[in-house]
């Protein structure tokens, strides 16, 4: 089984418009082509809370309301909820635009913090955070855009939140920021 990248998961998620109510965890993991997490908390069912608990602690970003695109979001209370960051907001099951509607899959629009808050209000859940993994499996890097150098791709990954340990070094971090600035200037022309 090959796990899809964030960009590939976004494409699959945005093609889906209907869902079985209460199956958010199964839907989000299917967007990534990931295997089930199982009943991690041993409460008798494999739900969104199990999805969050299956993520390694190093991969979780608790409370961070500015996740990069193509990452799973987790919400708590009762069975919880899972969703996916997409351009323009959050792709979620059981939401029609910015309102709760069982069986409908759509994008909750707005800034990432606003879309997350809207899901909390509409579904009565509490945001837990986002993860770099899906059900404990690493999410592969997005395919390299055509015409970019290895340095440019590393800078794009850095900007989108994919920061390997090497980037924590001050010189490397400075170099990434220089490349990002150069890329932005090039796109403004």
**H runs (alpha helix) in the chain:** 6-15, 24-32, 48-54, 112-123, 150-159, 170-188
Within a domain: 145: no
Q: Structural domain of residue 181, as residue ranges? A: 150-188
pLDDT digits (tens, 9 = 90+) for 151-183: 556 666 655 555 554 555 566 667 767 776 776
Instruction: Note the pLDDT of residue 189.
Output: 44
Phi, psi of 82 (to 5 degrees): -125, 150
Claim to verify: residue 134 and residue 179 sit in the same structural domain: no
Asked whether residue 144 is domain-assigned, the answer is no
The total number of structural domains that make up the chain: 2
Q: What is the pTM of this model?
A: 0.74
116 and 25 in a common domain = yes
């Amino acid at each position: 089984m090959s796990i899809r990248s964030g960009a590939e998961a976004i494409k699959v998620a945005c093609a889906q418009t209907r869902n079985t109510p209460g199956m958010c965890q199964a839907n989000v993991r299917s967007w990534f082509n990931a295997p089930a997490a199982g009943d991690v908390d041993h409460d008798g069912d494999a739900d969104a809370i199990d999805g969050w608990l299956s993520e390694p602690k190093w991969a979780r970003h608790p409370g961070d309301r500015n996740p990069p695109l193509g990452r799973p979001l987790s919400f708590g209370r009762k069975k919880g909820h899972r969703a996916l960051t997409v351009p323009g907001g959050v792709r979620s099951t059981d939401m029609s635009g910015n309102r709760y509607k069982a069986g409908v899959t759509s994008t909750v629009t707005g800034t990432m913090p606003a879309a997350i808050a809207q899901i909390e209000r509409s579904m009565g859940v509490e945001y837990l955070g986002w993860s770099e993994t899906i059900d404990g499996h690493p999410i592969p890097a997005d395919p390299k855009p055509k015409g970019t150098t290895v340095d440019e791709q590393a800078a794009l990954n850095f900007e989108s939140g994919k920061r390997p340990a090497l980037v924590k070094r001050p010189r490397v971090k400075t170099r990434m920021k220089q490349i990002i600035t150069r890329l932005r200037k090039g796109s403004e022309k």
